[in-house]
Every structure is written in structure tokens, then in C-alpha cells.
Amino acid sequence: MSTTLSDPTPTSKPQKAIKFRIVQADYLNFTESNRIDARAFFLPENLSWESSLGLRILAHYGPKLDVYLLEHFIQPKRGDSFLLPAEIARTPRLVVGVLPKWDGGMDDEERALKRCIHDVVSMAEQSGFKSLAFPALGMGNRDYPPRKAARLMCSVIESYPYQSLDEVVIVCKTAQIFDSFSK
């Protein structure tokens, strides 16, 4: 007796192919000059501006960004993401992801990191954006192992069921980080 599996039922919204790029560039300059619709960035759970990129984003958007975060993000959980209103960042729009503190990967950091990246992409999708840029993880003082961060980010981005986004870009600050993401 033989068994035949039926063809899978087609979904009403098949996954869309996107352009996924990894580039080496300055994050703010790249997202400004390439007309990116949404700019992702990451903050720790305590919402401190401890990374050099975070400080540059704060300087670029001004104190209204910090005030908004402190007034509206009450006890954010690691893995959460938020789209900031157009009054704070008209274009490119800002999508904030709350990163877990990397503690050697022994807790649920990987799961929270994957959720954070997935939810940032989902937020951009739901908002109808056509392009989204991420800064490469592993480039700051957050203790993320660069190759592991690269694998996690790329796997989440590549497996997302896209509907509206046309392009996702990971922007790497240095050649070393670019190499981690390119392999």
C-alpha cells in the first residue's frame, strides 16, 4: 500500500520575495542618502543611550526623542519593539527594539533577540513601509558575539513572511562586522 501526500493548500497571501542586502557604511548617512522608509535601532531595557550609534541617533533627533521614550516606554521588556510617531521622526521613521543584555547566552537572550528583530520587521510591515534598515548587531559594547548575532539577525530576516516590504538592509560599521555578516 502506498501513501501519497496531497499538495499543500496555497495560502491567500503567499510570501513575497524581498531584496536583502548587507552593506558596509555609516548607518545614519546610509539611511538618509538611500531613502530608507524605516530605520531600526536598539536600546537596552533601561533605555540608556550607551552605544555610540544610540548617542548619534539621540543627537540627530534631539531631546524630544529621549522625552518621548521616557514618557511612553514604561518598563519595556526585552524583545519588545515600538514604532515612534512621525512627530519624533518623520522620515525615515524610527522603530526601536529593546535588546536583552547578553549574559553569555545562558538565559533566553537568543529568543528575546529573535523576537526583537522579528517584531521590528513586523512593525515595519504593518506600517506599510517599503524599506527597512538595521544596524548590524555585534558592533558595540553589548557583548554580542558578532558571528552569532549575524546568524540570528540574518535567519530572522530571511525567514520572515513578507507582504509589503521590498527591501531590508543590514548596515555594518566596520569591515570586521561586515565580514561576520557576509559569511
- What is the spatial distance between Cα 164 and Cα 54, in angstroms, rounded to a whole number? 27
Q: Check whether 87 has a pLDDT greater than 70.
A: yes
Q: What is the pLDDT of residues 114-136, one digit of tens each?
A: 999 999 999 999 999 999 999 99
3-class state of residue 183 by DSSP:
coil
Please give the order of strands across the beta sheet that includes 93-99.
Answer: 19-24, 167-172, 131-135, 38-44, 93-99, 81-83
- What is the spatial distance between Cα 75 and Cα 6, in angstroms, rounded to a whole number? 48
Which three cell numbers mark 30? 546610509
Nearest to 128 by CA among 86, 168, 169, 166: 166
Q: Comparing 15-19, 66-70, 119-123, which segment has the lowest mean pLDDT? A: 15-19
- Average pLDDT for 148-152: 87
**Band of residue 112 on the pLDDT scale cut at 50, 70, 90:** confident
Q: Check whether 46 has a pLDDT greater than 80.
A: yes
- Average pLDDT for 63-74: 89
Contact 61, 88 (CB under 8 A): yes
Q: What is the mean pLDDT of the chain?
A: 85
Which class is domain 19-182? Answer: alpha beta
Per-residue model confidence (pLDDT) at position 105: 58
Pick the residue with more confidence: 178 or 50?
Answer: 178
Contact 150, 113 (CB under 8 A): no
Domain boundaries, the chain: 19-182
Contact 101, 6 (CB under 8 A): no
- What is the spatial distance between Cα 9 and Cα 31, in angstroms, rounded to a whole number? 39
CA distances from 46 to 3, 38, 101, 120, 141 (A): 56, 23, 10, 18, 15
Per-residue model confidence (pLDDT) at position 1: 42
Q: Check whether 5 has a pLDDT greater than 50.
A: no
Q: Check whether 13 has a pLDDT greater than 60.
A: no
Pick the residue with more confidence: 102 or 40?
Answer: 40
